[in-house]
Amino acid sequence: MLHIENLTAAIGGTEILRGLDLLVGPGEVHAVMGPNGSGKSTLANVLGGRQGYDISGTVTYNGLDLLRLSPEERAAAGLFVAFQYPVEIPGVGNLYFLRTAVNSVRRRRGLDEIGVTDFLALADAAMASVEMDRSLRNRSVNDGFSGGEKKRNEILQMTMLEPTLAVLDETDSGLDIDALRIVANGVNALRSPERSMLVITHYQRLLAYIVPDRVHVLAGGRIIRSGGKELATELEADGYAGTIEQAATTAGMAR
């Protein structure tokens, strides 16, 4: 599904990703954890096609050279990125924006557009699945939304766009316990053998709800350790320092 090999990314002359390797199979959920400044959000930005980075390496997604595609082409190919800080768009209706996005992706995939009546029925069902208030249907996109409402709106978008690869950048950021559970339930409802997910987070608490197949530690722009779901619990208890120190020692011995 997703194969990242020797990926580097720099901005303003500062290298952030330094030879990152990652393989995510079809239907798998992988978690990426790491300290602040390790490159987690940069990874999400690069996968989503954000401009401004100097990039080298390869990213293959379903046989496509992802780095050669525009953000619109990546979305049409089935990529979705849920951002840590969702953008507010005053003056643009929430469901108008979403229907425009859905139909844009459908056109690029050679599918018929969804009419207003059918779209509203699907959107209402998707909003109910993340316990999202119907009053937010016609509000401007994320404008005046609480942190939890913004994150639910991201999962609503993911549900409607039906990606095959979802990248969730710190979806748990700013959520209280109830909102975390609701958002995680929305994500879990979308798990399937045809959909892979990359869950980027600081904390194990999200992974108690969205149980990953693999956990990776990102530090210094590289994946320095990988393991099963128990690795997240270990990191929560012990922190990152020991893992980073061990990786540095191993790298030094390998030279």
Query: For position 174, what pLDDT does the model report?
Result: 77
**Rounded mean pLDDT, 114-131:** 92
**Rounded mean pLDDT, 25-36:** 93
Give per-residue pLDDT as tens, 137-195.
Answer: 889 999 988 888 898 899 999 999 999 999 999 888 878 888 888 888 889 999 999 99
Q: Is 163 helix (H, G, I), strand (E, B) or coil?
A: coil
| Confidence label for 242 from pLDDT (cuts 50, 70 and 90) | confident
> What is the Cα Rg of the chain in Å?
18
The structural domain count of the chain equals 1
Decide: 10 and 54 in contact? Cβ < 8 Å: yes
Provide the residue range defining the domain that includes 219.
Answer: 2-254
Find the CATH number of the domain harbouring 112.
Answer: 3.40.50.300
For residue 100 the two structure tokens come to 């425009």
Residue 45 has pLDDT above 90, yes or no: yes
Q: What is the pTM of this model?
A: 0.90
Query: Exposed e or buried b for every residue in 24-37, given b needs 16+ CB within 10 A?
Result: beeebbbbbbbbee
Q: Is 125 buried (19+), middle (13-18) or exposed (0-12) by CB count in 10 A?
A: exposed
Cα–Cα nearest to 194, from 164, 223, 221: 164
Average pLDDT, the chain: 90
Q: Is 103 helix (H, G, I), strand (E, B) or coil?
A: helix
Query: For position 217, what pLDDT does the model report?
Result: 94
Residue 69 CB partners (closer than 8 Å, separation 6+): 49, 77
Residue 252 has pLDDT above 70, yes or no: no
Q: Where are the beta strands (DSSP E) in the chain?
A: 2-11, 14-24, 29-33, 54-61, 64-65, 79-82, 89-93, 140-141, 165-169, 196-201, 214-219, 222-227
Give per-residue pLDDT as tens, 83-106.
Answer: 888 889 999 999 999 999 999 999
